A = this chain, B = another copy of it.
Amino acid sequence: MLDTLTQRRSIRKYKNQDIEQELLNEILKAGTRASTTGNMQVYSIVVTRDEKKKEELSPCHFNQPMIKNAPVTLTFCADFNRFNRWCMQRNAEPGYDNFLSFMTAAIDALLVAQTVCIAAEAKGLGICYLGTVTYTADKIIDVLNLPKGVVPVATVTLGYSDEEPEQVDRLPLEAVVHNESYNDFTEDSINQLYKNKESLAENKAFVEENGKETLAQVFTDVRYKKADNEHFSKVLLDVLKKQGFLE
């Protein structure tokens, strides 16, 4: 069973084969067994299958081909809308229009998202997370018609794999695990922990293709640039405000 977790890889190319509704429901239902704060289940999942909707969603994800290629896209949202409506119908005054409540709901949504992904993989499907969701939450809100109280935090494409990619590298466990207290890094330990990653042929090729000196520069200068991060931080904070989480 641990093999499902340890042998996995993200799948970006899918067969032209639909996912049966019954199977999808089974997977989504497994997701709903994830822990949520106070069992409030303050999340929602929007399922995209329709070709027209995929067309609309695609630019929100910078036209990465997975959206149109996969039979199903799932958008996981932090969602206090349903819970707030329930409270108001039950003579209870909700106090969830603040940043802490956004984080509570985002955590719910992300634990469910990962459970759904693992359930899908256990059922023989391939998945891929699209990090673009936090950049264009404002546009996704329009496309999926998300009301106040709802913010998308994870997008996943889902389908039967049509590729057999190599498993990508990970840092050694010592890079991410600290015992008892945070054991901060030294220049030597950083060198040691990144040595294998930097030595891999695919990563060396990545540096060369991008005309950079180091792999780190590919991240800072090409993939995840300061100016972009600052721009999208502003967009995302505006989204939280508009959706009622910064009152």
**In contact, B180 and A92 (Cβ under 8 angstroms):** no
Choice from B145, B178, B214 contacting A90 with Cβ under 8 Å: B214
Max chain B C-beta neighbours (<10 A), residue from A100, A131, A135, A236: A100
Choice from B45, B89, B118, B216 contacting A5 with Cβ under 8 Å: B118
A110 nearest in chain B by CB position: B110
B residues in contact with A154, CB < 8 Å? 107
Query: What distance in Å separates the Cβ of A108 from its nearest Cβ neighbour in chain B?
Result: 10
B residues in contact with A139, CB < 8 Å? none
B residues in contact with A4, CB < 8 Å? 1
With the chains together, A65 CA to B172 CA distance in Å? 33
Task: Give the number of times this chain occurs in the complex, counting copies.
Answer: 2
A114 with B110, Cβ < 8 A, contacts A90-B217, A176-B41, A236-B99 known: yes
**In contact, B95 and A229 (Cβ under 8 angstroms):** yes
A197 nearest in chain B by CB position: B39
Query: Which A1-40 residues have C-beta < 8 A from chain B?
Result: 1-2, 4-6, 8, 10, 25-26, 28-35, 37-40
Query: Which A48-105 residues have C-beta < 8 A from chain B?
Result: 48-50, 53, 79, 81-83, 85-87, 89-96, 98-101, 103-104
A98 nearest in chain B by CB position: B233
**In contact, A176 and B48 (Cβ under 8 angstroms):** no
**In contact, B214 and A28 (Cβ under 8 angstroms):** no
B residues in contact with A181, CB < 8 Å? 46, 53, 144-145
B residues in contact with A86, CB < 8 Å? 190, 194, 216
B residues in contact with A114, CB < 8 Å? 34, 110-111, 114-115, 118
B residues in contact with A184, CB < 8 Å? 81, 147
Choice from B106, B147, B190 contacting A89 with Cβ under 8 Å: B190
Query: Which A113-129 residues have C-beta < 8 A from chain B?
Result: 113-115, 117-119, 122-123, 128-129
Query: What distance in Å separates the Cβ of A99 from its nearest Cβ neighbour in chain B?
Result: 4
Choice from B8, B95, B104 contacting A225 with Cβ under 8 Å: B95
**In contact, B89 and A122 (Cβ under 8 angstroms):** no
Is A199 at the interface (CB under 8 A from chain B)? no
With the chains together, A216 CA to B40 CA distance in Å? 10
B residues in contact with A201, CB < 8 Å? none
